[in-house]
Chain A
Amino acid sequence: MMNLTNRSKVVSNKQMTFWERIYIPAILGGMRITFGHLFRRKTTVQYPEVTREFSEIYRGKHVLKRDDDGRERCTACGLCAVACPAEAITMISAERKPGEEHLYREEKYASVYEINMLRCIFCGDCEDACPKEAIFLTREMVRSEYARGKFIFGKAELVEPFDPAKRIDISKRQTPEVLEFKKNRSYKHNR
């Protein structure tokens, strides 16, 4: 069989020598190793005071984007729900009434949009599948709750605030390369 690494050792049932059988040298060797760890750098992150450094494109809680005029971008096409491997996304579509043009960008919108955060695996496939650049994962974490029901996030939790100053910046996630990638029809999930 081929070795995946060169670290494997051939084991044998050979008799231990006297030096090995009195154990004391082995114990002292072990104690030397543990003693060395006394002065190592500690790996703990002291949480409330120090937070772990997140990546710029960390995949946390989702956001439903608005466009520059503050209209919801989502058209309830359902591609995200289809792409979702955990089947965490569900939605109900509705037709835009006259006079609601300032709320929704297209004629069809999602009246209900729910993500079950207990099912979600934060893979980001919904973001890749979305043709309207409506859903993105953010650096924000999903908060902990006491009841399971509270983990089903509706539009109230997901849609970003109307106030332009409070919009969530996703420019780090949507670089030209990403847009180019999404246009490429040869990828299966872009079809």
Chain B
Amino acid sequence: MVEQIIYKTLLASFILILSLLVAMYSTLVERKVAGWFQDRHGPNRAGPWGLLQPLADGIKLFFKEEFMPNSADKFLYILGPSLTMFIALLTSAVIPWGPDLVINGQTYAMQVADINIGILYIFAIVSIGVYGIMIGGWASNNKYALLGAVRASSQMISYELAMSLSIIAIVMMTGSLSMRDIVAQQQGFNWNILYQPLGFLIFLICAFAETNRAPFDLPECETELVGGYHTEYSSMKLGFYLFAEYINMFISGAVMATLFLGGYHFPGLDKLGLSPNVFAFVSFMVLFAKITFFGFIYMWIRWTLPRFRYDQLMKLGWKSLIPLAILNVVITGVVILLNQ
């Protein structure tokens, strides 16, 4: 029991550090990828291939002037970015990162919390994720920040619906709300994307909207809103907002890989006859590769598509994605009924 608690603590800290590191280097990768897409090199001055660039950025953010508007609500102004960061880090708790480890004859699950309502937990976190942005945007007492916050919240509420509906089809197929069961069911190449291509597409689009990434980055639309909800933020508070976006990208990539791309499974991997711990490590790397793939997709889309107009965003969410998601649920239900 004590070992389990120590192990869980270690795992949680490992995932925390991993998320932070990945978010840090996502900033570099994003700038690199943006450069390559535009026939440039991207940052390459700080260290070899610019590997020290995230450190330089972090130091810069820490030493920038700490600015607070006079008429801001002091407490909420600080609460906003902290809450955003906190909520972004919460989701990783229910994601199964790999198969069980075996140490001294004891098995340890590579998942911080295997709660039987894992998917609902993710929905809950996503639905309260909007608070950080709204509080920050309102507390700045700036019209652009407020408009950005209002946009962010209405966008996130709208796309949450289609997102949840697209997952309901998966839940119907699996018969469980636990992330662990969903992954276990996708053994080998039995991935959910093969059965739910439409659901995957809807979820992918909604994930873009939920993480406020281009082409749905209207909450921070520079051309109209200066900087959106973080117009009045500077130094590390701004850093927290930007950082949380990259953590959200990482976590949503993990969720998509878990729900649709078979999590840590890869065809033929379990037939190699690896020892349990090596197998767990390789499986974890497989999951990480899938997350990286999604990270690249995020950036690829960002540097390809222009930003949507606000009415187009709402029309897409309410008039296309939600009916499609409902249709997907109905079709899945009929197929399940016929196969019984």
Which A residues have a C-beta under 8 Å from some C-beta of B?
24, 27, 30-31, 33-35, 37-38, 40-44, 46
Are B37's CB and A44's CB within 8 A?
Answer: no
Contacts of A30 in B (CB 8 A): 304-305
A46→B305 CA distance, assembly (Å): 29
Q: Is the beta-carbon distance between B301 and A37 smaller than 8 angstroms?
A: no
Given contacts A34-B300, A35-B300, contact A44 B305 (CB under 8 A): no
Cα A182 to Cα B154 with chains together (Å)? 72
Docked-complex contact A43 and B303, CB < 8 angstroms: no
Beta-carbon nearest neighbor of A26 in chain B: B305
Distance A8 CA – B41 CA, assembled complex (angstroms): 33
Point out the residue from A27, A37, A46 that lies within 8 Å of B37, measured CB to CB.
A37
Closest to B300 in A: A31
Using Cβ atoms and an 8 Å threshold, which residues of chain A touch B36? 37-38, 42
Residues of chain B within 8 A of A42, CB atoms compared: 35-36, 39-41
Q: Which residues of B contact A33 (CB under 8 A)?
A: 304
Residue contact A27 to B305, C-beta cutoff 8 Å: yes
In order of increasing CB-CB distance, the 5 nearest A-B pairs are: A34-B304, A30-B304, A38-B36, A34-B37, A44-B41
**Contact: B40 with A38, CB < 8 Å?**
no
Q: How far is the CB of B74 from chain A (nearest CB, A)?
A: 39
CA distance A37 to B37 in the complex (A): 5
- Pick the residue among A24, A27, A34, A43 that contacts B40 (CB under 8 A): A43
Which residues of A have CB within 8 Å of B40?
42-44
* In the bound complex, CA of A171 to CA of B37 (Å): 43
Distance between B64 CB and nearest chain A CB, rounded to angstroms: 23
B289 CB, min distance to chain A CBs, angstroms = 18
B38 interfacial by beta-carbon distance below 8 Å: yes
Q: Give the complex CA separation of A24 and B39 in angstroms.
A: 25
- Which residues, 294 to 324 on B, are CB-close (under 8 Å) to A? 300-301, 303-305
Complex Cα–Cα for A148 and B182 (A): 68
Selected contact of A37 from candidates B39, B41, B201, B305, CB within 8 Å: B39
CA distance A24 to B205 in the complex (A): 11
B41 touches A38 (CB 8 A): no
Q: Let me know if B304 and A41 touch, CB within 8 A.
A: no
Number of chain B residues whose Cβ lies closer than 8 Å to a Cβ of chain A: 13
CB distance from B303 to the nearest CB of A (A): 6
Residues of A within 8 A of B41 (CB): 42, 44, 46
B300 contacts across to A, CB distance below 8 A:
31, 34-35
- A37 to chain B: closest residue by CB: B37
The residue in B41, B201, B304, B305 that gathers the most chain A C-beta atoms within 10 A of its C-beta is B304
Among residues of A, the one whose C-beta sits closest to the C-beta of B33 is A38
- Contact of A41 (CB < 8 Å), options: B35, B39, B305: B39
Known pairs A37-B37, A37-B38, A44-B40. 15 more at Cβ < 8 A?
Answer: A24-B201, A30-B304, A30-B305, A31-B300, A31-B304, A34-B300, A35-B300, A37-B36, A42-B35, A42-B36, A42-B41, A43-B39, A43-B40, A44-B41, A46-B41
A134 smallest CB distance to B (angstroms): 43
Nearest B residue (CB) for A34: B304
Bound CA span A106–B201, Å: 83
Chain B residues 23 to 50 lying within 8 A of chain A, measured CB to CB, are 35-41
Which chain B residue has the least Cβ–Cβ distance from A24? Answer: B201
Question: What is the minimal beta-carbon distance from A30 to any residue of chain B, in angstroms?
Answer: 5
Expressed in whole angstroms, the Cα–Cα distance for A112 and B230 within the complex equals 55
What residues of chain B lie closer than 8 Å to A27, measured between beta carbons? Answer: 301, 304-305
Which residues of A have CB within 8 Å of B39?
37, 40-43
Q: How far is the CA of A134 from the CA of B53 in the complex (A)?
A: 50
Contacts of A24 in B (CB 8 A): 201
Q: Which residues of A contact B38 (CB under 8 A)?
A: 37
Docked complex Cα distance between A27 and B41 (Å) = 25
Closest Cβ–Cβ distance, residue A138 to chain B (whole Å): 30
Q: Distance (Å) between the CB of A146 and the closest chain B CB?
A: 22
- CB 8 Å contact bits of B279-305 with A (1 = contact, 0 = none): 000000000000000000000110111
Interface residues of B in 200-220 (CB under 8 A from A): 201
Q: How far is the CA of A33 from the CA of B305 in the complex (A)?
A: 11
Chain A nearest CB, measured from B204 CB (Å): 11
Q: Could you say which residues of chain A place their CB within 8 Å of the CB of B304?
A: 27, 30-31, 33-34
A31 to B35, CA, bound (A): 15
Measured in the bound complex, the distance between the Cα atoms of B35 and A43 in whole Å is 11
CB distance from B52 to the nearest CB of A (A): 17
Residues of A close to B303: CB separation below 8 A:
34
